[in-house]
Structure 1
Amino acid sequence: MLKSLFNWKVLLNLLVAIGVFVGLVWLTFRWLEYHTNHGQEIPVPNVINKSVHDAVTVLEDTGLEYEVDSSKYNPKYRPFQVLQVHPVPGSRVKDGRTVRLVVNPRSWAPVAVPDVINKYSGLAFQRLDRVGLKVGDTIFEPSIQKDALLRILYKGNAVKPGSLLPRFSIVDVVIGSGPMRNISIPNVVGLTVKEARAVITRSLFEVGLVEHEDGGKDESDIVYYQDPASGDVRDQGMQMDLWASKKTPAELRSKIEQLNATYRMKIDTSLPPIRYEEVPTHPAPDYEQTPAPAVPKTEPAKAEVPKTTNSSTKPAGSTTSTTPKTDNKPKTTTGNTSGNNTNTGSAKPAASTAQPAQKPKVKTIVVE
């Protein structure tokens, strides 16, 4: 086997294969050097603070490609001024290398108006500020959508959601202030359906049911009946129903009478009006307290003091006797008689009411 390896034919084939491989490698590197301009480098020119037009001219003369990035606006620098260069100026690059230029745009990049129509005003203001739009004047307009954002105005013109505006632009907003009350219903009888729609919209009402006599949807039909009737008062946003036909109202008299019987209520004024009387409000009863019976004051019983009566007799040898009485019997005084003179005692009834105790007084009775 070793003899076969060292055969001259085998060695010759091996040398030929090695030579072919080395030749292919050499040719590959030569082709790469030629294709990539190996050893041919160009310094990046310094175009910072130049205008973008001058910078592009310099790069084209040098043989370098370029791309412009103007996404960020800086008000400190001039519009279209080159702020940065990548790679940095002075770097050596191949011929045809792309250089990126950071350029200050003319103004802020435009932003899309967010869809905040018919949204709550507080939420709408937040979304407008988030995208970079500033709210200027706030205009209130009567609408059934109270506190809702109705329109966005830019320089006096209404803008739709998705429109592009410069960043930090000032926009005005129209906010609903609530429906108006007691608006007079317009008269649209005799107008076409298209004209009636315009009149109803201007009067701050909405078009409700539109019934065509022939069942079609021709906007040129004449309105011969409306509900509510003209002259009535309704709040803003109420719907008005219309009946339209190609005939004149005179030709539809019977139909109008049927609609009047349905939508126009007749009030019988022959009956006396109903009188509502207020029920008098009775005050709450004031309950008086019954006074307690008076308790009579009892005075302590006082003992009666006996009275002493002195009886006097004649001065000649007669004696006078004094007898105290302790009972309620009438007092009697008896004296001696001499000759024709007689002393008769008088009787006094006992006192019916108790008297306070007093010091007894001695009474002297003189008999002549």
Structure 2
Amino acid sequence: MLKSLFNWKVLLNLIVAIGVFVGLVWLTFRWLEYHTHHGQEIPVPNIVNKSVQEAIKILDDSGLEYEVDSFNYDPKYRPFQVLQVYPIPGSRVKDGRAIQLRVNPRTWAKVEVPDVINKYSGLAFQRLEQVGLKVGDTIFEPSIQKDAVIRILYNGNEVKPKTKLARFSTVDVVIGSGPLRNIAIPNVVGLTVKEARQVIARSMFEVGLVDHEDGSKDESDVIYYQDPAAGDVRDQGMQIDLWASKRTLAELSAKIEQLNSTYRMKVDTTLPPVQYQEMPVREESGSDIPPPPAPRRESTKPSAEMPRTETSRTTVPATETNRPRTTASGNNSATTVSGSNSNRPATTMTTKPAEKPKAKKVVID
């Protein structure tokens, strides 16, 4: 077996196989050097703070590829200004290497408008600020949803929820201020159901029950009755019930009378009008008023030397038959004195002695 291994034919084949393998390896490395530009490196140019258009042109002239990535918006820099470069400027890279550029965008990143319609205004403002939107003007509009958000405006145009706006954009909010009062009900009798809906909506009311005579939902049916009636006043947002049919009003007269008896209040005009009469004011007579009380007179105390008599004189008219009488009380004694004149006052005396003096007669003229 060893003898056959050292045969010149075997050795020749082995040498040829080794030569072919070495040649393939050499060609592979040469091809890699040529493809990767081995030993050929290009310095990364300094393109920081340049516009993205200028940076791309410089990289193309240098034989370098590029990848542009938007950076967080910074208002201190110009829009589309190159803020960062990777690899850093001055680094040596091979020809065809992709350079990553971080560019300042034109404005803030866009955010979605949150769904705050029909939400309380305080919560809506908080939600808008959380996503990065600023609330500008607050506009109040009559609505049954008081203090609720009705619409959101951006540059005067209404925006729907999930619409994307630039971060920190200013939006205006329309808020309900409460319903209007005493609005006249429009007349929709004779209109189609579709036309009646539009008229009712413009009048700031809502469509309530729609009763189709044939049970269909045809919007072309004509309204022959409504409740409340036209001309009545209601608050904003009240519902108006409609009755619709394909027949004419003349054919539905009996039906209208039946509905009137149900929904319209009848007023009896045959009764006489109510008359109101004013009752005379009763004047109180002067006799009912009690007389004022008589003034009281103060009495003086007698001195210690001699007794003083406190008298109270009351003069009343008297005829000749009426004689004045004087009654004096002191030490359990009373005296009656008659005068010569026909008209004498009746006097009552009360004597308060200091030391039990003897009774004295007092004559009062």
Cα deviation, residue 87, structure 1: 1.4
Amino acid at match of 2:159: V
* Higher Rg of the two aligned structures: 1
Question: Does residue 174 of structure 1 match 2:174?
Answer: yes
Deviation at 1:217, TM superposition (A): 4.2
Superposition deviation, residue 225 in structure 1: 0.7
The separation in 1 between residues aligned to 2:180 and 2:241, in whole angstroms, is 20
Q: 1:156 to 1:7 in 2, by over 3 A?
A: same
Q: What letter corresponds to residue 245 of structure 2 in structure 1? A: S
Cα distance, 1:10 vs. partner?
Answer: 5.0
SS at match of 2:29: helix
Instruction: Find the aligned partners of 1:65 and 1:177 in 2 and give their Cα distance.
Output: 60
User: 1:8 & 1:123 partners in 2: Cα distance?
Assistant: 96
2:198 alignment partner in structure 1: 198
For residue 105 of structure 1, report the CA deviation from its aligned partner: 2.5
The 2-side partners of 1:40 and 1:55 are apart by: 22
Deviations, residues 51-90 of structure 1 (Å, cap 9, x unaligned): 2222111111111122222342211112222222121111
C-alpha distance in 1 between matches for 2:145 and 2:17: 89
Q: Which residue of 2 aligns with 1:337?
A: none
**Retained in 2: the 8 A contact 1:140–1:177?**
yes
CA contact (8 A) 1:144 1:237 kept: yes
Which residue of 2 is the match for residue 24 of structure 1? Answer: 24
Deviation track 1:344-366 (CA, whole Å, cap 9, x = no partner) reads: xxxxxxxxxxxxxxxxxxxxxxx
Moved more, 167-176 or 61-70: 61-70
The answer on 1:95 being equivalent to 2:108 is no
Q: Does residue 142 of structure 2 align to residue 150 of structure 1?
A: no
Instruction: State the one-letter code of the partner of 1:61.
Output: D
Structure 1 residues 17, 235: CA separation in 2 closer, same or farther (over 3 Å shift)? Answer: same
Report the aligned-residue RMSD: 2.7
- What secondary structure does 2:207 align onto? strand
| Structure 2 residues not aligned, in runs of 5+ | 275-365
Cα gap change, 1:122 to 1:10, in 2 (>3 Å)? farther
Please tell me whether the aligned partners of residues 42 and 94 of structure 1 are also in contact (alpha carbons under 8 angstroms). yes
1:71–1:109 CA contact under 8 A, matched in 2 = no
Residue matched to 2:351: none
Tell me how far 1:173 sits from its aligned partner: 0.6
The residue that corresponds to 1:239 in the other structure is 239
Match of 2:161 in 1: 161
C-alpha displacement of 1:11: 4.5
- In 1, the alpha carbon distance for the partners of 2:119 and 2:2 equals 93
| CA deviation map 1:185-224 (0-9, x unaligned) | 2222223323321221122211122233454444444322
User: Which residue does 1:138 correspond to in 2?
Assistant: 138
Counterparts in 2 of 1:117-136, with a 5 A limit? 117-136=117-136
Offset at 1:175? 1.8
Whole-angstrom distance in 2 between the partners of 1:116 and 1:8: 93
Could you say which residue in structure 2 is the equivalent of 1:227?
227
Give, as a single letter, the amino acid of the residue that structure 1 aligns with 2:65.
E
**Structure 1 residues 36-60: Cα deviation after superposition (integer angstroms, max 9, x where no partner):** 1212221111112222222111111
Which position in structure 2 is the counterpart of 1:259? Answer: 259
Q: Secondary structure at the match of 2:75?
A: coil
Change (3 A) 1:28 1:186: same
- 1:135 deviates by 0.5
CA 10–124 in structure 1, closer or farther in 2 if over 3 Å, else same: farther
Q: Which amino acid aligns with 2:149?
A: L
CA distance in 2, matches of 1:145, 1:17: 92
C-alpha distance after superposition, 1:209-244 (max 9, x if no partner)? 223345444444432211122233433322211122
1:112 and 2:112 matched:
yes
CA distance in 2 between counterparts of 1:16 and 1:122 reads 89
Matched letter for residue 59 of structure 1: L
Counterpart residue type for residue 159 of structure 1 = V
Measure, in 2, the Cα distance between the counterparts of 1:125 and 1:23: 76
The answer to whether structure 1 residue 45 and structure 2 residue 45 are counterparts is yes
Q: How do 1:297-308 and structure 2 match up within 5 A?
A: none
Relative to structure 1, is the Cα distance of residues 119 and 5 closer, same or farther in structure 2, using a 3 angstrom cutoff? farther
Write the letter of the residue equivalent to 2:230: S
Look up the equivalent residue of 2:30 and give its one-letter code: R
- Partner of residue 80, structure 1: 80
- Which whole-Å CA distance do the structure 2 matches of 1:115 and 1:3 have between them? 93
Asked if 2 retains the 8 angstrom alpha-carbon contact of 1:47 and 1:85, the reply is yes
Distance in 2 (CA, whole Å) between partners of 1:17 and 1:124 is 81
Once residues 130 and 22 of structure 2 are traced to their aligned partners in structure 1, the CA distance between those partners, rounded to angstroms, is: 65
Query: Cα 1:121–1:2, aligned 2, differ >3 Å: closer, same or farther?
Result: farther
Distance 1:265 1:32, change over 3 A: same
Asked if the contact 1:49/1:81 (under 8 Å) is kept, the reply is yes
Would you identify which runs of 4 or more consecutive aligned residues in structure 1 move more than 6 Å? Answer: 267-270
Structure 2 Cα separation of the partners of residues 105 and 26 of structure 1: 49
AA at the equivalent of 1:104:
N
1:338-357 aligned at under 5 Å gives the runs: none
Identity, % of aligned positions: 80
